[in-house]
């Protein structure tokens, strides 16, 4: 078996997933880059000297199984791919809610089922999920997204309990407002933006690298006794509850 540790990153084509691939490659992992945008996955793989998976939907159980079957080992899984839609609950179509829940909650389960046996064969590993501050301080007009990210926390805790005896740690990172391709056009830095930087204790939106470094820590031996936890990486957004909520209530969508 190869000595080189393997990390799978989903949603690796851009944003937090691409930056996570960079950090994990720096830490010595061979990174398998997964995205529904195959060209973007290939670009990240080239950037980090990793492996591009064929374009796939993270919910495609057969494609996930085929990918994992081709790996000799798997030490790390970062289930990062996620989607969100801006609708009030009353205007959220059930089909859209199902879509968000299946990408954000069911897909991480599919990946856990696929990689856990392979990780266990080699003594264990680390799985990291992406939750969101939306699970902690709900913003109106974000459809089923907050519920999906709250679900991610419960999934993380349950997986930590069930996989712990296999030597597999399962944690989550909870980003605040992070500038990525996915949030382009809504980013902070000025008070005219949808959510101004003044609502954030550290006074700025986060960068993808801020999240990637926390993920890197959870994938490293430095976190070997941490499981079932969420690390909130939000610049203090959710501890300033009053300001945050006041801001959210007065913000125009």
Ligand X SMILES: NC(=O)c1ccc[n+]([C@@H]2O[C@H](COP(=O)([O-])OP(=O)(O)OC[C@H]3O[C@@H](n4cnc5c(N)ncnc54)[C@H](O)[C@@H]3O)[C@@H](O)[C@H]2O)c1
* Interacting residues toward ligand X by CB under 6 A: 11, 13-17, 35-37, 40, 57-59, 80-84, 103, 130, 132, 175, 177-178, 180-183
Distance CA 90, CA 62 (A): 34
Task: Compute the radius of gyration of the chain from its Cα atoms.
Answer: 18
Tell me the two tokens of residue 24: 């994990």
Q: Which is nearer to ligand X, 5 or 177 (CB)?
A: 177
DSSP, residue by residue, 124-160? -EEEEEE--GGGTSPPTT-TTHHHHHHHHHHHHHHHH
Is position 145 annotated as part of the catalytic site?
Answer: yes
Nearest distance, CB of residue 68 and ligand X, angstroms: 15
Q: Which is nearer to ligand X, 16 or 163 (CB)?
A: 16
Residue 243 to residues 19, 186, 227, 240, Cα–Cα distance (Å): 30, 19, 31, 6
Nearest distance, CB of residue 131 and ligand X, angstroms: 7
Nearest distance, CB of residue 165 and ligand X, angstroms: 28
Q: Which is nearer to ligand X, 166 or 245 (CB)?
A: 245
Q: Which is nearer to ligand X, 55 or 120 (CB)?
A: 55
User: Given 84, 145, 205, 232, which residue is catalytic?
Assistant: 145
Residue 63 to residues 6, 91, 114, 247, Cα–Cα distance (Å): 18, 33, 10, 43
Instruction: For residue 216, give the nearest of 71, 78, 98, 124 by alpha carbon.
Output: 78
Return the residue matching tokens 């930056």. Answer: 19
Nearest distance, CB of residue 195 and ligand X, angstroms: 10
State the catalytic residues: 145
């Amino acid at each position: 078996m190869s000595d080189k540790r393997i990390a799978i990153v989903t949603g690796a084509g851009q944003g937090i997933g691409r930056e996570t691939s960079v950090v994990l490659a720096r830490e010595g992992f061979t990174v398998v880059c997964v995205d529904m945008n195959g060209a973007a996955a290939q670009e990240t793989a080239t950037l980090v000297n990793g492996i591009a998976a064929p374009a796939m939907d993270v919910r495609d159980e057969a494609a996930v199984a085929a990918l994992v079957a081709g790996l000799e080992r798997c030490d790390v899984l970062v289930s990062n791919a996620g989607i969100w839609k801006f609708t009030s609950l009353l205007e959220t179509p059930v089909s859209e809610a199902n879509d968000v829940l299946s990408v954000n909650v069911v897909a991480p389960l599919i990946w856990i089922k696929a990689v856990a046996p392979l990780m266990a064969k080699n003594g264990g590993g680390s799985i990291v999920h992406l939750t969101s501050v939306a699970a902690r301080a709900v913003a109106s007009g974000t459809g089923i997204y907050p519920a999906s990210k709250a679900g991610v926390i419960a999934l993380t805790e349950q997986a930590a309990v069930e996989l712990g005896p296999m030597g597999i740690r399962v944690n989550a990172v909870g980003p605040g407002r992070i500038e990525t391709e996915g949030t382009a056009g809504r980013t902070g830095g000025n008070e005219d933006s949808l959510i101004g930087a003044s609502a954030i204790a550290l006074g700025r939106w986060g960068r993808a690298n801020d999240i990637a470094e926390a993920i890197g820590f959870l994938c490293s031996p430095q976190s070997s006794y941490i499981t079932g936890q969420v690390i909130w990486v939000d610049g203090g957004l959710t501890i300033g509850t009053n300001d945050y909520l006041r801001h959210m209530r007065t913000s125009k969508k």
